């Protein structure tokens, strides 16, 4: 564990009270027979044994203890804690895992995804290897030809999903060889904290997508995609009528927000913000501590909404497609 990943209490504790720390990670300072001290670190299994991270059992006598303290891990903030290149790949894999394509094939470290024309994320190539080109299984030109064939036989538009700045060179290579940018978007993240929000509306939560949720936006065509991964579905109701919906794909301690939609006749009432904050309250109570979403860089109202809630930009990505002359 890297320095800084733990928070230490300000005071060391004497030898009493060890029983209350069984199962916790401690650092214990022991008296040496020579008059000095030695420190041991591990999970406390009994008042006289620690389990080191390498599996070794360390025994000691309580009479040897000078002081001890509990080591409390600090959860990493959303999108933090590793080099940017690693964080981008980890976050993109997370986003992919909560919106999983019906067909996924690895070509080297390129993930080719196909899902019958619905959503670009589920019908695009996601490089996952080292820059500059993401480590396809062939040289770059042959790998691109394979992509064209993969999507042609499925009657789909070839699309590269390129996280930036990680694959900026691959993006430039494609642009120089007859491709164009179709859309650019941001990945935004937030740390979910406990909060209380008062609402006169009713929030309904389900782990399955029901007909009432679908009735708000008409997402029946996406049901196969949404059903593939664990998620929580939120419906905001006014007078027992659904007025807004949201999907939160769940993976570990992350929620990936998507399909946020307010009925047209209820827009302008800040229901998007209300629904998202109510969903965060539910997610936090379920042990989810971080959230991510994707938003088109040209969608200024949505970006302003997410910023007001506390989201922050992590990175951008570009969808690149063949130009008409390609």
What pLDDT, in 10s, does the model give residues 264-301?
999 999 999 999 999 999 999 999 999 999 999 999 99
In angstroms, how far is CA 220 from the centroid of its own chain? 25
pLDDT category at 2 given cuts 50, 70, 90 is: very low
55-97 pLDDT per residue, tens: 889 999 888 998 888 877 656 666 666 678 889 999 999 999 9
pTM here is 0.75
Q: What is the per-residue pLDDT for 195?
A: 75
For the chain, domains (ranges, CATH) are 6-73 (2.30.30), 84-181 (no CATH), 193-288 (3.40.630.30)
- Cβ pair 203, 232 in contact under 8 A: no
Residue 53 or residue 286, greater confidence: 286
Mean pLDDT of 24-35: 88
The whole-angstrom separation of Cα 102 and Cα 85 is 27
- Cβ pair 175, 320 in contact under 8 A: yes
Mean pLDDT of 253-273: 95
* pLDDT at residue 325 tops 90: no
Q: What is the per-residue pLDDT for 314?
A: 95
Mean pLDDT of 243-264: 96
Mean pLDDT of the chain: 89
Q: What is the per-residue pLDDT for 326?
A: 44
Cis ω for the linkage preceding 90 (within 30 of 0): no
Mean pLDDT of 253-272: 95
The whole-angstrom separation of Cα 88 and Cα 220 is 31
pLDDT category at 117 given cuts 50, 70, 90 is: confident
- Cβ pair 314, 292 in contact under 8 A: yes
206-222 pLDDT per residue, tens: 999 999 999 998 888 89
* pLDDT at residue 12 tops 60: no
Residue 198 or residue 142, greater confidence: 142
């Amino acid at each position: 564990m890297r320095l800084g990943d733990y928070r230490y209490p300000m005071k060391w504790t004497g030898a009493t009270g060890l029983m209350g720390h069984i199962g916790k990670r401690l650092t214990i300072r022991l008296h040496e027979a020579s008059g000095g001290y030695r420190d041991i670190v591990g999970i406390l299994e009994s008042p006289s044994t620690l389990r080191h991270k390498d599996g070794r059992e360390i025994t000691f006598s309580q009479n040897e203890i000078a002081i001890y303290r509990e080591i409390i891990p600090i959860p990493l903030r959303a999108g933090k804690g590793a080099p940017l290149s690693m964080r981008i790949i980890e976050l993109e894999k997370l986003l992919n895992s909560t919106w999983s394509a019906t067909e996924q094939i690895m070509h080297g470290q390129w993930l080719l995804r196909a899902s019958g024309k619905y959503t670009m994320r589920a019908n695009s190539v996601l490089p996952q290897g080292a820059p500059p080109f993401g480590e396809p299984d062939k040289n770059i030109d042959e790998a691109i030809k394979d992509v064209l064939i993969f999507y042609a036989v499925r009657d789909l538009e070839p699309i590269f999903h390129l996280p930036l700045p990680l694959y900026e060179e691959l993006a430039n290579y494609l642009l120089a060889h007859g491709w164009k940018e179709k859309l650019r978007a941001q990945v935004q993240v937030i740390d979910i904290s406990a909060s209380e929000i008062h609402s006169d509306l009713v929030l309904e939560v389900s782990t399955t997508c029901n007909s009432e949720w679908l009735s708000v936006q008409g997402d029946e065509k996406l049901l196969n995609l949404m059903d593939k991964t664990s998620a929580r579905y939120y419906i905001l109701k006014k007078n027992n009528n659904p007025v807004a919906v949201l999907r939160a794909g769940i993976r570990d301690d992350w929620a990936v927000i998507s399909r946020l939609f307010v009925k047209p006749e209820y827009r302008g009432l800040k229901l998007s913000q209300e629904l998202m904050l109510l969903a965060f309250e539910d997610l936090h109570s379920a042990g989810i501590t971080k959230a991510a979403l994707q938003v088109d860089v040209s969608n200024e109202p949505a970006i302003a909404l997410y910023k007001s809630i506390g989201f922050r930009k992590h990175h951008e990505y570009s969808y690149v497609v063949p130009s008409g002359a390609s």
